[in-house]
Amino acid sequence: MEEIREVEAAAVPLEETEAWKNAKWYVVHTYSGHENKVKANIEKLVESQGMQDLVLSVVVPTEDRIEIKDGQRKIKTRKIFPGYVIVKMTVTNESWYLVRNTQGVTGFVGHGSDPIPLTDEEVRRMGIEKIHIDLNIEVGDSVKVINGPFESFMGVVEEVNYDKQTIKVRISMFGRDTPVELEFDQVDKL
């Protein structure tokens, strides 16, 4: 999945500002096929209204697929959630009104005028934003897998990659030690 986000050059990266940390991701329902137009319209309105501190990012989640047709490889970009746009914003009456009344928007996902923000887990799984997890773990530590296909297995850490936020764990399955790569949020340190 790729995230297309235009960020103006600033002394502090947008992701580290207080506004970015306090804002949440919301799902906006649009007419199918109008996602990119809605994204552009929201960004124009935010710019003209000077609401960059409330509506921080607008994303149409896409992924690149390789299609082989007549022996030629072509990269096709497709929308992961047709009919939806994801918006990082702080909800106020003004920001809600701006997004809700943008041409092509049919509403927020949620109850009427009360949009429901995505959870950190949903944001992470959708790949919209990388959630940084601080895990104090070293090679040789014992861990318990708390979610995923290896849930409730225990193992020993063999390798830690802080940049990718992954660890290699050796777990015992069916009487054999098996190396497994897991993400930081899939394990608890014992």
Among residues of the chain, what percentage have pLDDT more than 90? 40
58-85 residue pLDDT tens: 999 888 787 887 878 888 888 888 999 9
Task: Looking at the structure, tell me whether residues 32 and 102 fall in a common domain.
Answer: yes
CATH code where residue 69 lies = 3.30.70.940
Task: Looking at the structure, tell me whether residues 119 and 172 fall in a common domain.
Answer: no
Confidence of residue 45 (pLDDT cuts 50, 70, 90): very high
Confidence of residue 151 (pLDDT cuts 50, 70, 90): confident
What Rg do the C-alpha atoms of the chain give, in angstroms? 21
Task: Looking at the structure, tell me whether residues 86 and 152 fall in a common domain.
Answer: no
Least confident range of 1-5, 74-78, 79-83, 169-173: 1-5
Domain assignment present for residue 97? The answer is yes
Retrieve residue 9's tokens. Answer: 């050059």
Task: Looking at the structure, tell me whether residues 89 and 25 fall in a common domain.
Answer: yes
Domain assignment present for residue 90? The answer is yes
CATH code where residue 152 lies = 2.30.30.30
Domain assignment present for residue 1? The answer is no
> Please, is 124 exposed, middle or buried when counting C-beta atoms within 10 Å of its C-beta (0-12, 13-18, 19+)?
middle
Residue range(s) defining the domain that contains residue 44: 14-126
